[in-house]
Chains A and B, each alone.
Chain A
Amino acid sequence: MFRSSALLAALLLCAGSATAATPWQSLGEPLTAREISSWDIDVRPDGMGLPPGKGSVEQGQTLYDAQCASCHGVFGESNDYLALTGGIGTLASDTPQRTVASKLDYATTLWEYINRAMPFTHSKVLTVDEVYAVTAYVLNLAEILPMDATLDEKTLPAVVMPNREGFTQAHGFMTVDGKPDVQAKACMQDCTGEVTVSSELPAGFTEEMYGDIRTHFRALAGLTDLPATALAPATNAGTKSPAELAAANGCLTCHGVDTPIVGPAFTAIAERYAGNPEASALLTAKVRAGGSGVWGGAMMPAQASIPDSDLALVLAWLLAGAPAD
């Protein structure tokens, strides 16, 4: 609701202000350095944009197993979502296997993508060093880096990906019909010669309706101000609360405590199974085997790695309505 009214307001503001002598004078203000840095996130093949930091294959394994393996497979082999490894050298064959390892031309792209977008449902929780470590481990799983490798802002751009010379944007990674994710073409022809304002809102209308329009947008600029949930690697029960165990085992990647993400909210699950004496056994089996259909089409991958003791505690907590403490 906010979003659509804010957008509408922006359009109204543009139209309404056109009547003033200096129509755009009241719009905009300089961005702060921090706001710019929150948008300036690209990383280039030569390493420009990579922050200083480092991480090893060994450190990456712990993080990967806790945060990534549930969707990508313990060896990066699972194509339930997107296979990370395998397929090197198959792109020109009859059965091209497009994986991160086989398709990417620069390893910096992998770092940038993990940093920006992974884990899928709660991105930006990994520290810079952790992103280097996970990148190193994925490249090790792909047989591109040795077990004892460490990556930093200098060594990462030096990694030579097997498809360095062969990258094309003709295919997407994930869709069956191979449509690319992004294939923008700049038009730059048949442009209108002159732009005319053809309708206007009465002066002052926007201010009266929405007050200072800039305050609606200022909050969107500083994305780095959003709180990040720090996640620790999985450990045994006893030292952690059920909520912490759920986080450590990656449950909260796809389930919110009281909001659905990819999968249903914990509180919604508790409601559905309230009073069902079999609930714990049913859900244990469900977590272990994975599946889809009960809550919608999204597939829950089978969860083999969460220890029984952790799972029992998490489910007991979940079925009690997932209380905050």
Chain B
Amino acid sequence: MPDPMRIRAVMMGEVVDVKILMSHVMETGQRKDADGNVVPAHYITEVTATCKDKTVMSAAWGPSVAKNPYFSFRFKGGAKGDKLSITWKDTAGGTRTDEVTIN
């Protein structure tokens, strides 16, 4: 099981300000290890954010998103106390979903 994400979702007027820090190697597949062997690619390809059954953000990522990705976005329609759910999927079939309460 991958490590949990750190998520902050805060009301900023009528907009929800979301900040996420994920724990992931984001290996590009172009790097070699100390023995000269290529380190296989392993990175997040999809990120989706859902609030009250509505997709408020979806993103397609490649290997050039930095290791332990930081991602921030803002959406309308959320309120204090609502749940926001973030899911990522990676190239190795790994996935992780975390939920946070908007405050």
A and B touch in the complex (CB under 8 A): yes
Q: Which residues of A contact B (CB under 8 A)?
A: 73-75, 77, 86, 141, 143, 288, 304-305, 307-308
A143 to B21, CA, bound (A): 12
What is the minimal beta-carbon distance from B15 to any residue of chain A, in angstroms?
9
Main SS of chain B's interface residues? strand
Residues of B that sit less than 8 Å from A by CB: 3, 6, 8, 10-13, 17, 19, 21, 23, 67-68, 70
Assess whether B21 is in contact with A308, with CB atoms less than 8 Å apart.
no
Summed over the interface, the residue pairs from A and B with CB atoms below 8 Å come to a total of 26
Is the beta-carbon distance between B19 and A75 smaller than 8 angstroms? Answer: yes
- Please, which residues of chain A bring their CB within 8 A of the CB of B70? 73, 75, 77
Q: Which residue of B6, B12, B68 contacts A308 across the interface (Cβ within 8 Å)?
A: B12
**Interchain nearest-CB distance for B58 vs A (Å):** 22
| CB closest residue in chain B, given A90 | B67
Cβ–Cβ contact B6 & A304, under 8 A:
no
Add 7 more A-B contacts to A304-B10, A308-B12 (CB < 8 A).
A75-B70, A141-B6, A288-B12, A304-B19, A305-B12, A307-B11, A308-B13
Which listed residue (A74, A86, A307, A308) contacts B19, Cβ 8 A? A74
* Chain B residue at minimum C-beta to C-beta distance from A284: B13
Q: How far is it, in angstroms, between the C-alpha of A311 and the C-alpha of B13 when the chains are bound?
A: 10
Residues of A contacting B8 with CB < 8 Å? 74
Looking at the assembled complex, report how far the CB atom of A90 sits from the nearest CB atom of chain B, in whole angstroms.
Answer: 8
Q: Tell me the minimal C-beta distance from A275 to chain B in angstroms.
A: 26
**Taking CB as reference atom, which chain A residue is nearest B14?**
A308
Closest 4 CB pairs of A and B: A308-B13, A75-B21, A304-B17, A77-B70
Cβ–Cβ < 8 Å partners of A75 in chain B: 6, 19, 21, 70
